[in-house]
Amino acid sequence: MTPEAAPAFEGFVAGGAATTLPAQFFVDLLPAIEDTEELRATLYALYAIARKRGPLRAVRASELAAEAPLARAFAHRGGAEAVRAALDAAVARGTFVACPLADGDALYFMNNDAGRRALMRVRAGALEAPALAARLPAPAARPPRPAEVYEQEIGVLSPAVADAIAEAVGRWPEQWLVEAIRLAALRNARSWNYVRAVLERWEAEGRDTDATTGTAATRTQAGRDHGPYEKVIRRS
């Protein structure tokens, strides 16, 4: 027996929602994609990302694999694993950039300026990856991450600062970073160099907490030179 043919498409509905694709897709990518699974996953991922709103325009692999149209298309082609493989092929081609997640899933962004910046912010902790839709109840509130506080108190998170924060997290407690960033903002010294100077002073001299203000302070040691930020970070 031959499989039953799918019913013919009856045409587009007038006034239906439209998805915009970059012209480069048709000029540079479409002629180069030979694998039909990669093409299906690419088109659907572009559609899914375009539906997103807010600062995080990205989709999880599991989220895509669970959407009915893509699930039907891959039902006899390996299911969710085949969707993930097709998305990874698109990443290798340069269509998307991806961020592996601790739960084994992966987050996919368009490979454009906005997507690459969002990826950097997720890796730095300034943006949180979306939780799995089935995860209930909502996670409890967590302490603010240094990269989040930097964006709130200091300014734009550049790649160099993101790398510096990631390195600093491996050297000092995250709470120290958060307090040092807020101290920099409080003293109107909004730069990573100032934040690092505060952290290095705390590391060298120890730190305590000012009971009246709640801000971190250092125990001074006479004769120690802390460089150009000595005067501004010295405890009054």
CB 41 within 8 A of CB 51: no
pLDDT at 45: 95
pLDDT at 13: 76
Tally of domains within the chain: 2
Residue 179, domain member (yes or no): yes
112: amino acid identity, one letter? N
Say what the pTM is. 0.67
| Domain stops at, among 62, 94, 124 | 124
Residue 139, domain member (yes or no): no
Q: From first to last of the 236 residues of the chain, give the pLDDT tens digit.
A: 455 666 788 888 777 778 888 899 999 999 999 999 999 999 999 999 998 888 899 999 999 999 998 999 998 888 999 999 999 999 999 999 999 998 899 999 999 999 999 999 999 989 888 876 544 344 556 788 888 888 888 888 888 888 999 898 888 998 999 999 989 988 888 889 999 999 999 988 887 644 223 444 444 343 344 455 554 444 43
79: domain CATH number? 1.10.10.10
pLDDT at 111: 97
What are 59's strand-pairing partners? 108
Residue 2, domain member (yes or no): no
Buried b (16+ CB within 10 A) or exposed e, 113-129: eebebbbbbbbbbbbeb
| DSSP character string of 64-100 | HHHSHHHHHHHTTTTHHHHHHHHHHHHHHHTSEEEEE
Which residues form the domain of 179? 146-233
pLDDT at 17: 77
189: amino acid identity, one letter? A
Residue 167, domain member (yes or no): yes
The DSSP output letter for 22 is -
Residue 16, domain member (yes or no): no
Residue 13, domain member (yes or no): no
pLDDT at 140: 59
* Residue 117 and residue 51 in one domain: yes
